[in-house]
């Protein structure tokens, strides 16, 4: 049987079509006021600038306003904190995105944790992560949240499955593992000190590649019938998993590009709309 293509590009456009209707209803309710997502870009990293621009474009497609804040490469932690606090206090702003990574001298964790929970639409605060992990209401970390939405949309069974997450970052691997655990998968998290990664990956019914190294996870490590999710993207267009050699014998896979990336943005935008619908209350 042909593998299911977990097509984030198509699914994200479907999600956006539904969001545009909800944003139009919000505008009508608030007599024309347009809910806003604020983005903070610190420094000149071209990939980060592209991601922020793509997020602004997605806002426009669904009818949200976006407020792009750009800070120089030399910005201090205090500079970023001032921007976050200003946006926390701005009633027009329903969501705040601080683009990761920030330059080395900035305390990213402190800046993330200064974002008010009700505006944490990218799901980066410690409190939001803790609440999500405990199954309490909170916005999801955008990339793993998008992956979970995609797996559910395509009817991928998670309960009782062996899920292996390769990578344990605060924005991706760890929240992904917590979400899969909450969905009753049996979860193993791998990292740079994992012994015999190949052996662990070979057990997986569901593999999540989130380590940031081009085609590091080899096709030969992936068992027949597995579900293959690749969060990585490396120009000119490969992920963290060696996809050729898997496509013909896996159950489902995310294309690179067009798999996980668009779902990250769709999750961010969905959660911004939810924040506006809840009118500043704690996320539900």
- Contact residues toward ligand NAP (CB under 6 A) are 143, 166-169, 171-173, 190-194, 197, 210-213, 231-233, 240, 260-261, 264
Residue of 55, 119, 161, 174 marked active site: 55
Least separation in angstroms between CB 32 and ligand NAP: 32
Least separation in angstroms between CB 202 and ligand NAP: 14
Using the Cα atoms of residue 170, residue 179, residue 52 and residue 65 in order, give the sign of their dihedral: negative
Residue whose C-alpha is closest to residue 238's, from 246, 248, 227, 226: 246
Residue of 119, 120, 122, 271 marked active site: 122
Least separation in angstroms between CB 29 and ligand NAP: 31
Three-state DSSP at 125 gives coil
User: How many whole angstroms from its chain centre is CA 271?
Assistant: 11
Q: What is the CA radius of gyration of the chain?
A: 19
* Contact indicator for 118, 280 with CB cutoff of 8 Å: yes
Residue of 9, 85, 90, 99 marked active site: 99
User: Is 99 considered catalytic here?
Assistant: yes
User: Is 78 considered catalytic here?
Assistant: no
Least separation in angstroms between CB 110 and ligand NAP: 17
Q: C-alpha dihedral over 10, 15, 17, 22, to 10 degrees?
A: -170
Task: Give the integer Cα–Cα distance in Å for 204 and 214.
Answer: 20
* Contact indicator for 281, 118 with CB cutoff of 8 Å: yes
User: Is 122 considered catalytic here?
Assistant: yes
Least separation in angstroms between CB 189 and ligand NAP: 9
Instruction: Report the residue number, 75 or 211, with the smaller CB distance to ligand NAP.
Output: 211
Give the residue nearest to ligand NAP (CB): 169
Instruction: Report the residue number, 100 or 278, with the smaller CB distance to ligand NAP.
Output: 100
Three-state DSSP at 60 gives helix
**Angle 260-277/8-29 helices, nearest 10 degrees?**
20
Instruction: Report the residue number, 154 or 233, with the smaller CB distance to ligand NAP.
Output: 233
Instruction: Report the residue number, 45 or 90, with the smaller CB distance to ligand NAP.
Output: 45
Instruction: Report the residue number, 11 or 26, with the smaller CB distance to ligand NAP.
Output: 11
Q: Do strands 206-209 and 227-230 pair parallel, antiparallel, or not at all (unpaired)?
A: parallel
Q: Which residues are catalytic?
A: 55, 99, 122
């Amino acid at each position: 049987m042909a593998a299911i293509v977990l097509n984030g590009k198509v699914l994200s456009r479907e999600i956006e079509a539904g969001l545009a209707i909800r944003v139009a209803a919000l505008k009508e309710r608030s007599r024309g006021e347009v809910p806003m997502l604020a983005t903070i870009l610190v420094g000149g990293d071209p990939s980060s600038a592209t991601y922020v621009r793509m997020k602004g474009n997605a806002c426009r497609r669904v009818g949200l306003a976006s407020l792009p804040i750009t800070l120089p490469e030399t910005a201090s932690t205090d500079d970023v904190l001032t921007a976050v606090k200003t946006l926390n206090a701005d009633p027009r702003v329903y969501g705040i995105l601080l683009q990761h990574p920030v330059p080395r001298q900035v305390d990213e964790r402190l800046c993330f944790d200064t974002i008010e929970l009700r505006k944490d639409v990218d799901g980066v605060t410690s409190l939001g992560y803790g609440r999500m992990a405990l199954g309490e209401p909170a916005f999801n970390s955008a990339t793993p949240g998008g992956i979970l939405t995609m797996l559910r949309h395509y009817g991928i069974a998670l309960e009782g499955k062996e899920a292996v997450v390769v990578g344990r970052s605060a924005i991706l691997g760890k929240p992904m593992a917590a979400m899969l655990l909450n969905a009753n998968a049996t979860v193993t998290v791998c990292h740079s000190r994992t012994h015999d990664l190949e052996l662990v990956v070979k057990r997986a019914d569901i593999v999540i590649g989130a380590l940031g190294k081009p085609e590091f996870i080899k096709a030969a490590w992936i068992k027949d019938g597995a579900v293959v999710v690749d969060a990585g993207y490396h120009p000119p267009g490969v992920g963290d998993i060696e996809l050729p050699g898997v496509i013909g014998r896996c159950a489902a896979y995310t294309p690179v590009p067009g798999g996980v990336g668009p779902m990250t943005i769709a999750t961010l935008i969905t959660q911004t709309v939810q924040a506006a619908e809840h009118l500043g209350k704690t996320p539900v």
